[in-house]
Structure formats: structure tokens, C-alpha cells
Amino acid sequence: DGPNAIVEGRITFTAPYEGAPGCVHGGFIASAFDEVLGVAQSASGQPGMTANLTVDYRSPTPILRELVFRGWCERVEGRKIFTRGTVHHGDTLCAESTGLFISMRPELFERLLALRETNR
């Protein structure tokens, strides 16, 4: 808990998530980072929305193997929340990510909640 918390998630991607033969498609890796870093940034106490997400692919990410995603909040500057994350298969670094989140003003959060209720 708290702004220095490390979020960890474990996942095994199956055949529908394959890109290159035997590897997880990079788009699914990016999506998983968005979720993990999104949870990590919420520990800042001023949760926000993704403004930028960068993924650096370091080695092939295997399907049908357990992967460990980790994410953390590096720093907060005003409304900007800077995050980092990694995904490993065993000791192998498969990808790294940085994310910039912008904390929402309370009035925007309330407006989004109202819009969600209207659309249900």
C-alpha cells in the first residue's frame, strides 16, 4: 500500500494471444502493462488516466508460460504520475514499460461517473 507500492500480477497467455509463433502478441503485453501500471498509479492517492504508455520489448515473450508483471509509481509532479514496470518469464526480462498518468480533477471524475450511469 501507499505511493511506493509494487503491484505484481501473474498471467499465462494461451494460444488466442499468440503473435509471432510461440510468442505473446505485443499488443496484449501493452494492454497488460496499462492495467498493471494503472493499479500502481492509483496508490499515489490521486488516481488518473493514461496519457502515455511506452513499451520496450527486450526478448520474445512466450505463450503458455507464467509471466510476472510488476509495476510501481516512480514519482508524482503535480497532476502527473510517472510509473514503470517490467514483465519477466523466470529470470528473463521480456519487456519494460513507462507510463504517464494524469490525475483527474474531481469534477471530471463525477462527470464520467454520471455518463457511465446514463449509458447503462
* Among the listed residues 98, 33, 42, the one whose alpha carbon sits nearest the alpha carbon of residue 68: 33
Catalytic residue (choose from 1, 34, 56, 91): 34
Which helix (H) or strand (E) segment holds residue 95: the answer is strand 92-103
- Told to judge if 34 belongs to the known catalytic residues of this protein, a careful annotator would answer yes
Largest CA distance in the chain: 47
The residues assigned a catalytic role are 34
